[in-house]
Amino acid sequence: MPLYNDATRRLMNDQRLYLTDGGFETSMLFHEGLDLPSFAACVILDSDAGRDAMTRYFERYLGLAATAGTGFVLDTNSWRSGVHWASTLNRSPADMLRLTGDAVDFAKELRADWSGRVSPILINGVVGPSGDGYAPDVELDPALAQSLHAPQIDVFAREGVDMVSALTMTHPGEAIGIARASVAAGLPVVISFTVETDGDLPNGQSLADAIAEVDAATDAAPIYYMVNCAHPEHFQETLSGGWTARIGGVRTNASRLSHAELDVAESLDEGDPEELGALHVGLARRLPGLRVVGGCCGTDHRHVHQIAETCLIPA
């Protein structure tokens, strides 16, 4: 059964939809001009310029939540701060864990600054895939995935995050391992799969089957599932049946490009913010359990503003 704490219980019982941010890494890379080696934004925590850019970025979204009068899920900058990225980034495993802790500390400071204007703000410890989030060359078995991700998740537990979210998952094995590591650490967990233009996961599995597999292997441990890093038109037609009640969040791309096309793109495809916002009306109708909305690659505060206008703020 899902593991809850006071913060996640409030999220799940609240009548409001909560906001989260947009395409963090693409914003840091294309809008802020920061260097992200191997798309690992965690390294910018070590510079004043990086921290200033992060503050500007998140405060735009927190402002949207304040205007909408709703809660906010505040991500940590830790999508690629797991110890398995140490060699790729020329860092030590200990330094990667230090960056994970720094990411939580940054989020806590931001929450303290905004607590009088946005409530509640949940600190969300973000875990990313062990490999390429678009085209995994190896599908991890649950035991290996659990051992691989447990050190980072244990840091989240010690630092007192409200929840863990595994973003851009490409196959169930890794998702199962992360869910088990989170439960072992005493943390509520969210699993977010990414899908291709046909609505299936990169390994060819349907979203419905992937959710069913994780639930069966973990005693339905995730408090909810998400879809991220895909345009609404890539998966909205697959959203039919009772299983859709397990989807509690969507973080969509602005671009209709495939993952393969995005991987080689040299410029940012920002899509149409108004169109993206309008498409979320249909998503909300198909997802009875929707709790959190935000953006992913190519989106910024303009896109999430349009999503908020259509989904959160009465006309």
pLDDT in tens, 203-262: 999 999 999 999 999 999 999 999 999 999 999 999 999 999 999 999 999 999 887 888
Question: Which is more confident, 266 or 74?
Answer: 74
In Å, how far are 111, 134, 156, 250 from 170, measured between CA atoms? 31, 7, 22, 16
Q: How confident is the model at residue 1 (pLDDT cuts 50, 70, 90)?
A: confident
For 108, residues 6+ apart whose C-beta sits below 8 A from its C-beta are 123
Q: How confident is the model at residue 134 (pLDDT cuts 50, 70, 90)?
A: low
> Strand pairing of 189-193 and 163-169?
parallel
Measured over the CA atoms of residue 154, residue 155, residue 156 and residue 159, the dihedral's sign is: positive
What is the CA angle 226-230-232, rounded to 5?
85
One-letter amino acid at 11 equals L
Task: Report whether pLDDT(133) > 70.
Answer: no
Task: Report whether pLDDT(145) > 60.
Answer: yes
Task: Report whether pLDDT(157) > 50.
Answer: yes
| Residue pair 210/172 in contact by the 8 Å Cβ criterion | yes
Q: How confident is the model at residue 315 (pLDDT cuts 50, 70, 90)?
A: very low
> From CA 286, how far away is CA 22, in angstroms rounded?
21
> From CA 157, how far away is CA 149, in angstroms rounded?
13
| Residue pair 257/233 in contact by the 8 Å Cβ criterion | no
| Residue pair 234/196 in contact by the 8 Å Cβ criterion | yes
Q: pLDDT digits over 94-127, tens only?
A: 999 999 999 999 999 999 999 999 999 999 999 9
Reduced to 3 states (helix: H, G, I; strand: E, B; else coil), residue 272 is coil
Task: Report whether pLDDT(314) > 70.
Answer: no
Q: How confident is the model at residue 49 (pLDDT cuts 50, 70, 90)?
A: very high
Q: Which two tokens stand for residue 26?
A: 């693409």
> From CA 42, how far away is CA 75, in angstroms rounded?
12
> From CA 240, how far away is CA 309, in angstroms rounded?
25
Helices 172-184 and 142-159: angle between axes, nearest 10 degrees: 40
